[in-house]
Chain A
Amino acid sequence: MSMTRISVSKNSGTARSAHTDEYLIKDEPYYEPIGQEIAVFEAAFHQQLPVLLKGPTGCGKTRFMQHMAWRLKRPLITVSCHDDLTATDLVGRYLITANETVWVDGPMARAVRTNAMLYLDEIVEARKDTTVVIHPLADDRRVLPIEKTGELLTAGPEFSLAISYNPGYQSVLKDLKQSTRQRFVAIEFNYPAAALERKIVRRETGVDEAMAERLVKFAGMTRNLKGSGLDEGASTRLLVHAGKLMSTGIDPRTACRTAVASALTDDPEMIAAVNELSASLF
Chain B
Amino acid sequence: MNLSSLTAAELEARLDEALDPVLSSRRTAAPLARALAGIERTNQDFVLKWVDIIIKTNSEMAYQFAARAPEAFRLMNLPAIEAWIIHAMDVYDKQGLYPGCSAFGQLEAFAAETAEAAHSVTLDEIRHILELFVQGLAGRPLKVEADPETYTDTGTLFLPVRLYQFAERPDNFRLYKAMAAHLWAQTWYGTYRFASGAPSLTETLAAFREPEKALRLIHALETVRLNALIARELPGLYRDMQELQQLIGEVRYPAAWEQAIQRLTKPKAGVSDSLALLPGLYEGEVPAPFCFQGRLMPERAQHAMQERLTREKELFREALAQSSNESAAPSPDTESASKEKSRQYSVEQVPDPDHPGQFTFMLMLDGQPVQPLADMRALMNSIVQDLGQIPEDYLVAAGAGGYRRQADEKRPEDVWKGTYHEEGAFLYNEWDHRRNHYRKHWCVLREINVHPAHEPFVARTLAKYRGVLPQLRKTFEALRGENKLLKKQVNGDEVDFDALVEARADMQSGMELSERLFTKLQKFERDIAVMFMVDMSGSTKGWINDAERESLVLLCEALEILGDRYAIYGFSGMTRKRCELYRIKRFDEPYTGQVQERIAGIRPQDYTRMGVTIRHLTKLLNDIEARTKLLITLSDGKPDDYDGYRGEYGIEDTRMSLIEAKRAGIHPFCITIDEAARDYLPHMYGAVNWTLVDDVRKLPLKVSDIYRRLTL
Contacts and interface: CB of A to CB of B under 8 A. Distances in A.
Question: Are these two chains actual partners, yes or no?
Answer: yes
Among all A-B residue pairs, the 10 with the closest Cβ atoms = A273-B132, A280-B237, A194-B354, A221-B136, A88-B493, A280-B234, A277-B136, A272-B129, A273-B133, A273-B129
Given A86-B521, A270-B132, 6 more contacts: A269-B128, A272-B126, A272-B129, A276-B133, A280-B240, A282-B235
A30 interface: no
Contacts of A23: none
Nearest to B624: A171
A228 B137 CA distance: 13
B129 A225 contact: no
A152 interface: no
Contact of B141 (A127, A228, A282): A228
B517 interface: yes
B500 interface: yes
Given A279-B236, A280-B181, A282-B236, A222 B493 contact: no
Contacts of A228: 132, 135, 141
A224 B353 CA distance: 18
A269 B494 contact: no
Contacts of B495: 94, 96, 101
Contacts of A249: none
Interface in B383-429: none
A88 B500 CA distance: 20
Query: Interface of chain A, helix or strand or loop or mixed?
Result: helix
Contact of A279 (B135, B138, B237, B494): B237
Nearest to A278: B236
Given A94-B494, A281-B234, A193 B354 contact: yes
Interface in B215-268: 234-237, 240
B536 to A, nearest CB: 29
A195 B354 contact: yes
Interface in B101-150: 126, 128-133, 135-138, 141
Given A195-B353, A281-B236, A282-B236, A96 B132 contact: no
Interface string A169-211: 0011100000000000000000001110000000000000000
A113 interface: no
B376 to A, nearest CB: 15
Nearest to A218: B136
Contacts of B307: none
A269 B132 contact: yes
B643 interface: no
A273 B136 contact: yes
B162 interface: no
Nearest to B354: A194
B679 interface: no
Which of B132, B354, B523 is the most central at the interface, judged by chain A CB atoms within 10 Å of its CB?
A: B132
Query: Interface of chain B, helix or strand or loop or mixed?
Result: helix
Interface of B: 126, 128-133, 135-138, 141, 177, 181, 234-237, 240, 353-354, 493-495, 500, 517, 521, 523, 588, 625
Contact of A172 (B126, B133, B588): B588
Contacts of B138: 221, 224
A93 interface: yes
Contacts of A88: 493
A274 interface: yes
Nearest to B520: A86
A229 interface: yes
Contacts of A221: 136-138
Nearest to B521: A86
Contacts of A148: 494
Given A172-B588, A194-B354, A274 B136 contact: yes
A252 to B, nearest CB: 9
A172 B623 CA distance: 13
Nearest to B237: A280
A140 B500 CA distance: 41
Contacts of A253: 236
Contacts of A269: 128-129, 132
Nearest to B141: A228
A20 B269 CA distance: 63
A277 B128 CA distance: 14
A281 B353 contact: no
Given A228-B135, A281-B236, A276 B177 contact: yes
11 contacts: A171-B625, A195-B353, A221-B137, A224-B136, A224-B138, A228-B135, A228-B141, A273-B128, A276-B133, A277-B133, A281-B236
A280 B137 contact: yes
Nearest to B496: A96
A225 B141 CA distance: 9
Contacts of A171: 625
Which of A101, A269, A270 is the most central at the interface, judged by chain B CB atoms within 10 Å of its CB?
A: A269
Contacts of B132: 225, 228-229, 269-270, 273-274
Interface string A220-234: 011011001100000
A86 B523 CA distance: 11
Given A96-B495, A101-B495, A222 B136 contact: yes
Nearest to A252: B236
Contact of B135 (A195, A224, A282): A224
A281 B235 contact: yes
A202 to B, nearest CB: 15
Contacts of B128: 269, 273
B656 to A, nearest CB: 23
